[in-house]
Structure 1
């Protein structure tokens, strides 16, 4: 699959239907890895077979199912893993909101999108958006308090939904009816993004099990 000047390889790594990604500049073959998770060796092999040079390793947040491949992939590639803020173990480095990093002739923009976790980030490059556990196809990330839900709501509307409608969405898990989406499609079909207010959004979160059952959502 491709997004203009960026080629994206989506890799199923196991675990809880986890996705890893390799995204490379088509001009230079420089690549970033997003959420290597359960199968870093497979990720490294795919990159090598495609002729990509891995320049960055990102985790979209610090949950173990997104970070547990970082040390091995870092050793294989000689590149430190990057996470948001100060929750950074050994062999890893931190990035901040608004950081822009070059990827060949493209740029990667770091968007701090807390809610699911305080250190959640999304990565925006060309017209591709890697959303981790903030935005799924037809769903959003789980939260553990009303305050976290409000933070996630603000992240969705202030950081993600302001991007162009044609932006491709690459989520951290295969939880939806399709493995990828666009922001336009999510705006039109994602029940959480159709709520008119935060209170409606929160109500849907609290009643999500019943909503899924009523609407046949897996």
Structure 2
């Protein structure tokens, strides 16, 4: 069973969360700027596509960008990681497993396993949640979970094969066990609901949190007929 260091300890300070909508052709991503209210040190989650929005958000918040958090290395989540790290002279944080899987390299790359660390008063708690990719992580910051493509309000991320779907099932079961219902969920994409839904809402409405065994889950996640037009029709 995966461990979650310090789950019963103090969350650390609640971040100021700035939601950034990023567009590229037909796609829309959510990036998140998380700011410690006391020190104004900040981190950004999965920066992609529109650097001017990142710069403007940092400037308007009066923040100092201290790091880049990467949930996984698909292009729409790392498009600006190197640019941001070079411009703000800050580290890129990525799980050791994801870095090894993807081959991502940069002089400012810092890998981790599951030990939390601090940015100002913010406690950054990585949760290893493979399935969408072998090294996917979610980040708990305060009472907020930043999930990338692991968990959306409406569904969960795609899985390339049965083994990955089994991993995704275990990752979602892990989150169900350790995440409080009052936790706010901030995914990498939205398919109807705005970011910041309570986990209690997902537990009730998200079909991928209802399965009781990995085989039924995998069969549904990998079901036929999920062409591009219907890929995120989670029902």
TM-score (norm 2): 0.83
- Runs of 4+ in structure 1 deviating by more than 6 angstroms, as ranges, are none
Tell me: CA distance 1:217–1:58, structure 2 relative to 1, closer, same or farther (3 Å).
closer
**More deviation, 89-98/63-72:** 89-98
Alpha-carbon shift at residue 185 of structure 1 (Å) = 0.9
2 CA distance for matches of 1:151 and 1:196? 14
List alignment gaps of at least 5 residues for structure 1: none
Q: How does 1:137-176 map to 2 (within 5 A)?
A: 137-159=153-175, 161-176=177-192
Report if the CA contact (8 A) 2:207-2:234 is conserved.
no
| 1:55-89 CA distance string (max 9 Å, x none) | 11111111111111012111221112121113331
Is the 2:66–2:91 Cα contact (8 Å) retained in structure 1?
A: no
RMSD across aligned C-alpha pairs, in angstroms? 2.3
| Pairwise CA distance, 1:160 | 5.5
Specify the alignment match of 2:55 in structure 1: 44
- 1:90 Cα deviation (Å)? 1.7
* Aligned with residue 67 of structure 1, among 53, 63, 78: 78
Indicate conservation of the 8 Å contact 1:7/1:24, yes or no: yes
| Deviation (angstroms), 1:92 | 3.9
Q: Choose between structure 1 and 2: higher strand proportion.
A: 1
Contact 2:132 2:168 in 1 (8 A): yes
User: 1:92-171 alignment to 2 at 5 Å?
Assistant: 92-159=108-175, 161-171=177-187
- The reply on whether 1:35 has 2:46 as its aligned counterpart is yes
Change (3 A) 1:161 1:173: farther
The range that moved more, 69-78 or 79-88, is 79-88
**What residue is the counterpart of 2:17 in the other structure?**
8
What is the TM-score normalised by the length of structure 1? 0.89
**1:104-143: CA deviations, max 9, x gaps?**
2231111111110012111101101000000011110100
